[in-house]
Amino acid sequence: MNAHLQERRIILKHADDPSYSNLIGCYLREGGYETLKKAFAMKPEEVGEEVLKSGVRGRGGAGFPAGMKWKFLDRKSGKPIYLICNADESEPGTFKDRQIMYKDPHQLIEGMMIAAYAIGAKQAFIYIRAEFHEGARILNRAIQEAKDNGYCGDNILGSSYSCDLVVHRGAGAYICGEETGLIESLEGKRPNPRIKPPYFPAVLGLYQCPTIVNNVETLCNVRHIIEMGGEEFAKIGKPNNTGTRIWCVSGQVMKPGYYEFECGALTLGEMIFGVCGGLRPGRSLKAVIPGGSSSKILRADERFSGKLKDGTEFDWGLEDIPLDFDGPASVGSMSGSGGIIVMDDTVDIVEAMANINAFYAHESCGQCTPCREGSLWMRKITQRMCSGGAREEDADLLLSVANQIEGRTICAFGEAAAWPTQSFVTKFRDDFIKKASETVEEKNSRKLQLI
Amino acid sequence: MISPSKEDLVTITLNGVEVEVPNGINAVEAAALHGKEVPHYCYHPKLSVAGNCRMCLVEMGTPMRDRSTGEAILEDDGSPKIGWVPKPVIGCATNVSAGMHLRTESDLVTECREGIMEFLLVNHPLDCPICDQAGECRLQEFATDYGRGFSRYIERKNVKPKRTRLGPRVTLDDERCILCSRCIRFSQEVAKDDVLGFVDRGSFSTLTCFPGKELSNNYSLNTVDICPVGALTSTDFRFKMRVWFLKETKSICTESSTGCNTIISSREGVIQRITPRRNDLVNDTWMTDSGREIYKLVKAENRILRPSVDGKDLPLSEGISSAVRILKDRKVGVVASCKSTLEEQFLTKLVIDATNAQVYIRGHFGEDDGILLSADRTPNLRGALINGLTDSYPEDHLNGLNEALASGELESLFVIDEDLLASGVDQENLKDVDIVFLGTHSHATSNMARVVLPSFTVFEKEGSFINKSFIVQAFEQAIPGPVGLSSQVEILSQIINHLRVDSDPLDAKLDGVWKSMGEVLPDLMGDCDFRSLVKAPFQIDGSKWSHLDFVEKNALNFESVKGVQV
């Protein structure tokens, strides 16, 4: 795919260049590993300082400032420090990390080695989801290339610093994207997320040692932060929303795909109707999920008004929402992992809900009660609603079940499972009520039947 | 474990009231100290914190401080402003610290509990009418407090295995399981036999044994005890008895010198099961599986139910007279027992003194499992030391007695409980001695006795034992003994009264025995009496015997050196 004119590609700069492969030769030709040399000429804490200055926020979903995360690291314990790259990209609607790892793996490796150097990691891991078997192969080959050239492993760049990098493949579970679940899985256990307190990864992470878990895109950003300097990086995008983001657009648009833009460079409307070529002929926009399936759905005809963090008032329609971290957050949703799911008027919202609920019921680890029982219950309700058994009271019941999950679980999966239901039912209440009176003919005439 | 608790007290605010609690204990325990129950399923005081049931959600806050100055932020009325954590937190993993505010009774907390209860019940079979746990089920109890009383759930319930054999003694009903993981953590942390785990995920998670493994360790039934619902059931007790019919009696396990505190559950004089009773100095909340089987002795086939003299069944009084005739004014040997209670041993000593008898005693030893089954397989070896039945550490044979018999030193033998023929005594040597046997079950030696005085098992009498840590622990009578029989204390008292016609008759009640013990052993027993012992066990100074080579190894709540030092 050709880079869109308006895109500003930093992370995906070479990703779709036909003359560029994922071998180290291409990477070196384009100035690869020069930044690693630059970083190794600095003190580790200076590297961390640059990352803090850059204001880069985590690209995995929560958007927590990466430099701040590194600061929380318990360095007094005397225990080894671990760096983990979270490459368990499983959020429905998200496919950005895959592009990076498949097309430019050395960028990730360089970013990781800089990060490992900055935090003083003894060992680094890439936890990659099971489904990316080709990605794991590519990364393993790339790591070997990097090791052969002294960019990774023992005595990196001839220095006294050594850090091995290991690819660990998951076994197919969404919950492994939750950092403490990932750590448990990496330790060889069931990926049951840990209770926090006391098991904050920065203090008691992998093997009860201080651990930093960062997303693939975040770690790639580290490379660019060091290359251009933290302050320079912070000029990209907007304050508190620095750098670029890769947005993954899926659903009923003409040109779905991944697009890298400066944070806040365009609005949701520009993305859907400009970059992605709009909807299919004759269709109208019904709803958008802005940041992966766990973020709250936004209705096409909604008006959002309020105050931004800096005090400026806003009054937006769906199309006016700026694509950065704070835009979707200020309208009650989130930019999450950057997975924008577009739904047009052919989508049956209850079926869409049923699809999402089926996902969360299937992926709940089953450790804690609310998520374990609630997610399956919600799946059963929406499945029944789509199979001719809907009742008018189901809308309220769904909402109540979701409310009983939110905020009461061990990990953020509880919110991830509850938010879709809460927002779908609240915003499309009529669709859920109407389901109760749907006739068999109406049901069978639906063009898209998801389950 | 979350973090070690410190014993110093801190002040916290519990539901708006300032209370003092030990620093660092968790919110569930802190609230319990002040009479506020925080319902919970997965939390167990003797296991690591899992935090998965979410039933113990409470509200937590701390006084707010200004980030720059560090000074406390105050409300308008001058009281400190409390920064409440926006989400409820689990009480089991929230350790109290000075100034912490907790709410265990609020609308949010109640709402949380109601939500969790509903979730736990949606896929639960609700088969209380046929469930063994009914009556002692946390799910039932908290459903009463926080259940809706009706179900909003109209979907099909999950189907899981209904009767899985996890091991020889434990049967699992997976549909009732609420996945609290207590049994898994127990197997890992206490029994050190990691055989249980969950398979599948989400609501379909199922408890099971690892492939090729089974839950067969000697602590497997503790998983049944700590299962908060009816998922893990004792194969022995399953479907036998409704728990609300059971009378509970405090007892002590006689399996080894550990002296696990137990509860005997019986109905109408029949014991149905034995379960552990919490004692943090002895057995925490655990006991062995083998210790739970001991009640089967009561109805064992070889139980002696009638007194007899020369093979003829006679009333007990005539048996006692015959015994006295055999023991009086002859060369007597007494075989005392480390299985007898402290009181019985005390009276045995009086018999020895009254007959100028030679005393012999043996120990019973086995493998030490390092948890609760100690190498000394008698409950009261230390009682024998204290009562002066022996000065040296008993060996696991009676070779000394055999030699004495062979040399013809003895004419009569008073044998308490022991089987001489299984203790290294040659049958040939017993030909010419008259044996009086006092015990509960028949064996080769009792069969050779001229006088057999049957008596009570530990369940049919009361008394006390001194365990390996020199803790004196009392047990109460759970069920009545067989008709026509008397307790050992009664029989021994009568024998002594017959032997010492010129002394005042002994008081055969335990209080009386304890009074006499206090007079004879003032250093050890002080002015304690039996009734207060039942309520509060005490530890005595065992340093006098520190030179002895006790066989017990380090185990739960026990260090082998600690056993002899107080």
B39 in contact with A at a CB cutoff of 8 Å?
no
Contact (Cβ atoms closer than 8 angstroms) between residue A405 and residue A370? yes
DSSP A11: T
Give the per-residue pLDDT at A448.
64
Binning pLDDT at 50, 70 and 90, where does residue A449 land? low
* CB nearest to B51's CB, from A361, A380, A410: A410
* CB nearest to A408's CB, from B54, B123, B198: B54
B433 and B522 belong to one structural domain = yes
Task: Work out the burial of residue B311: count CB atoms within 10 Å of its CB; fewer than 13 is exposed, 13-18 middle, 19 or more buried.
Answer: exposed
B143 in contact with A at a CB cutoff of 8 Å?
no
Give the per-residue pLDDT at A6.
77
Average the pLDDT over A152-168 and give the result.
96
**Token digits for B233?**
């059931």
Give dist(CA B308, CA B228) in Å, integer: 49
Q: What is the pLDDT of residues A209-252, one digit of tens each?
A: 999 999 999 999 999 999 999 999 999 999 999 999 999 999 99
When computed from its CA atoms, the radius of gyration of chain B, rounded to whole angstroms, is 28
B64 and B138 belong to one structural domain = no
Placement of tokens 């137990």 in the chain: B262
- Give the chain B residue whose CA is nearest to the CA of A189: B197
Q: Judge whether B160 lies within some domain.
A: yes
Give the per-residue pLDDT at A447.
67
Binning pLDDT at 50, 70 and 90, where does residue B223 land? very high
Among the residues of B234-379, which ranges form H helices? Answer: 289-292, 316-327, 342-355
DSSP A338: S
Binning pLDDT at 50, 70 and 90, where does residue B440 land? very high
Give the per-residue pLDDT at B560.
83
Q: What is the pLDDT of residues B400-426, one digit of tens each?
A: 999 999 999 999 999 999 999 999 999
Q: Of B383, B385, B413, B392, nearest to B401 (Cα)?
A: B413
Give the per-residue pLDDT at A311.
86
Name which of B110, B142, B201 to mutate to probe chain A: the one with the most chain A Cβ atoms within 10 A of its Cβ: B201
Q: Judge whether B111 lies within some domain.
A: no
Q: What are the respective helix, strand and coil percentages of chain B, to the nearest 5?
A: 30, 20, 50
B88 in contact with A at a CB cutoff of 8 Å?
yes
Torsion-angle region of B442 (φ positive above 0: left; ψ -120 to 50: alpha; else: beta): beta
Name which of A200, A364, A365, A372 to mutate to probe chain B: the one with the most chain B Cβ atoms within 10 A of its Cβ: A372
B420 in contact with A at a CB cutoff of 8 Å?
no
B101 and B132 belong to one structural domain = no
- Give the chain A residue whose CA is nearest to the CA of B197: A190
B344 and B378 belong to one structural domain = yes
CATH classification at residue B559: 3.40.50.740
Cα angle B490-B493-B494, degrees, rounded to a multiple of 5: 85
Percent of chain A with pLDDT over 90: 93
B535 in contact with A at a CB cutoff of 8 Å?
no
B88 and B148 belong to one structural domain = no
Average the pLDDT over A413-430 and give the result.
96
Give me the total of CB pairs closer than 8 Å, taking one residue from chain A and one from chain B: 98
Work out the number of other CB atoms within 10 angstroms of the CB of residue B116.
27
Res B562 pLDDT > 70: no
Backbone angles phi, psi at B436, to 5 degrees: -105, 125
For residue B203, the distance in angstroms to the closest alpha carbon of chain A comes to 5
Cα angle B524-B529-B532, degrees, rounded to a multiple of 5: 115
Query: Is B120's CB within 8 Å of A369's CB?
Result: yes
**Token digits for B344?**
């019985």
Q: What is the pLDDT of residues B50-66, one digit of tens each?
A: 999 999 999 999 999 88
Peptide bond connecting A197 to the previous residue in cis, omega within 30 degrees of 0: yes
Task: List b or e across A121-134, with b for residues whose CB sees 16 or more CB atoms inside 10 angstroms.
Answer: bebbbbbbbeebee
For residue A431, the distance in angstroms to the closest alpha carbon of chain B comes to 21
B35 and B70 belong to one structural domain = yes
B155 in contact with A at a CB cutoff of 8 Å?
yes
Q: Crossing angle of helices A105-119/A133-148, nearest 10°?
A: 60
Domains of chain A: 24-235 (3.40.50.11540), 243-344 (3.10.20.600), 349-445 (1.20.1440.230)
Q: Judge whether B551 lies within some domain.
A: yes
Give the per-residue pLDDT at A443.
81
Q: Of A256, A257, A246, A261, nearest to A216 (Cα)?
A: A246
Name which of A204, A369, A394, A413 to mutate to probe chain B: the one with the most chain B Cβ atoms within 10 A of its Cβ: A369
Give the per-residue pLDDT at B509.
86
Give dist(CA B116, CA B179) in Å, integer: 13
Res A96 pLDDT > 90: yes
B368 and B502 belong to one structural domain = yes
CATH classification at residue B50: 3.10.20.740
Q: Judge whether B1 lies within some domain.
A: no
Q: Of B556, B551, B191, B562, nearest to B375 (Cα)?
A: B551
Give the per-residue pLDDT at B7.
63
Percent of chain A with pLDDT over 70: 98
Q: Are strands B332-337 and B358-362 parallel, antiparallel or unpaired?
A: parallel
Q: Are strands A298-299 and A211-215 parallel, antiparallel or unpaired?
A: unpaired
A412 in contact with B at a CB cutoff of 8 Å?
no
Query: Is A366's CB within 8 Å of B122's CB?
Result: no
Percent of chain B with pLDDT over 90: 86
Q: Judge whether B528 lies within some domain.
A: yes
- Give the chain A residue whose CA is nearest to the CA of B56: A408
Among the residues of B227-380, which ranges form H helices? Answer: 289-292, 316-327, 342-355
Binning pLDDT at 50, 70 and 90, where does residue A103 land? very high
Res A3 pLDDT > 50: no
Give the per-residue pLDDT at A5.
53
Peptide bond connecting A193 to the previous residue in cis, omega within 30 degrees of 0: no
**Token digits for B453?**
């005085």
Give dist(CA B250, CA B262) in Å, integer: 6
Percent of chain B with pLDDT over 70: 98
Q: Judge whether B83 lies within some domain.
A: yes
User: In whole numbers, what is the pLDDT of chain A averaged over residues?
Assistant: 94
Query: Is B116's CB within 8 Å of A370's CB?
Result: yes
Residue B175, C-beta contacts closer than 8 angstroms, at least 6 positions apart:
B123, B124, B125, B157, B158, B159, B160, B161, B162
Give the per-residue pLDDT at B2.
43
* CB nearest to B198's CB, from A366, A373, A410: A366
A379 in contact with B at a CB cutoff of 8 Å?
no
DSSP-based three-state secondary structure for B493? helix
Q: What is the pLDDT of residues A21-64, one digit of tens each?
A: 999 999 999 999 999 999 999 999 999 999 999 999 999 988 99
B353 and B387 belong to one structural domain = yes
Work out the number of other CB atoms within 10 angstroms of the CB of residue A158.
8
B26 and B65 belong to one structural domain = yes
Domain residue limits at B551: 308-564
Domain tally, chain B? 3
Average the pLDDT over A272-282 and give the result.
94
- Where does a domain end: B51, B74, B105? B105
* A49-52 contacts, C-beta under 8 A, 24 or more apart: A49/A230, A50/A225, A50/A226, A50/A229, A50/A230, A51/A115, A51/A118, A51/A222, A51/A225, A51/A226, A51/A230, A52/A230
Report the helix count and the strand count for chain A, using DSSP H and E.
Answer: 18, 13
DSSP-based three-state secondary structure for B255? coil
Res B159 pLDDT > 50: yes
Establish how many alpha carbons lie within 13 A of residue B117's alpha carbon, considering only the half-sphere containing its beta carbon. 21
B214 and B343 belong to one structural domain = no
DSSP A287: E
* CB nearest to A404's CB, from B90, B119, B156: B119
A377 in contact with B at a CB cutoff of 8 Å?
yes
For residue B377, the distance in angstroms to the closest alpha carbon of chain A comes to 39
Q: ipTM of this model?
A: 0.94
